[in-house]
Amino acid sequence: MKILTPRNNKDYYDYLTGIYGIDNKVIYDRRQFTVLSRLDSPFFSYVRTEKDVPKKEIRTTEWIGRHCKWVTKFIATEFHCMLEVGFKWYFFEVERYLNESNEVQIDWKIIKTKDVTKSQRLGKNPMTFFSAYANYCFWRTEKLDIRVKREDAITNPILIGTPLTSLIPPQDIYKELCNYISSLNDIEFTDTRTDIQKAEAAGFDRKTSFRNIK
């Protein structure tokens, strides 16, 4: 796969192009992107806000086997989100709270993944990040239904610097992107970058490259 991206904005899976090789027929145009770790968002920002509080202790009922029992739980402010990569959805549960030192703590976990078809995809780009919300249905078992907020879509997200990099192996991201873009081979792609943009993407600096050495 060939990844088109501005200089100094590589992602954590980009190094695999040097291992798997560059296929000029499989091109990921990521020149328009968003660095998630720089967003002022409860998913990624560790700046404390008025809404941030420690975890709360609650007593609630929970089905254990065939019996409903009282249990003690510690809950935090809960968020949900989804990452669409090619034909795969990754759903996450994110807890945000203050630790004992009154510092913001953000805990991520994958709650499910799903393979989808081309008609089921929500984003127009190979990779899209969505915020979401959860609906709970309680009857003997706890059923979680996650609804994606399409209006909050972030296209071509840069994942480096976020907890996502520790939850999804770079090989998985790379494979899903390749499979999806390969399925679009009937759509012709034209590289419209200038020679200078191509050189900078390859690591050359216009001021210090060997072409300007006297």
- Determine the pLDDT at residue 207: 61
- Determine the pLDDT at residue 146: 82
What's the domain count of the chain?
1
Where do the DSSP E strands lie in 33-118? 34-35, 56-64, 67-75, 77-85, 88-98, 104-115
Give the range of the structural domain holding residue 88, as residue numbers without chain letter. 2-212
- Contact present, 23 and 1 (Cβ < 8 Å): yes
The span from the first CA to the last CA of the chain, in angstroms, equals: 36
- Determine the pLDDT at residue 136: 65
- Determine the pLDDT at residue 201: 61
- Contact present, 71 and 62 (Cβ < 8 Å): yes
- Determine the pLDDT at residue 203: 60
Give the residue ranges of DSSP H helices in the chain.
17-20, 164-167, 170-182, 195-201
Distance CA 43, CA 94 (A): 7
User: Whole-structure pTM over 0.75, yes or no?
Assistant: yes
- Contact present, 122 and 153 (Cβ < 8 Å): yes
Q: In the chain, which stretches have pLDDT less than 50?
A: 140-141, 187-189, 210, 213-214
Beta bridge pairs of residue 90: 83, 113
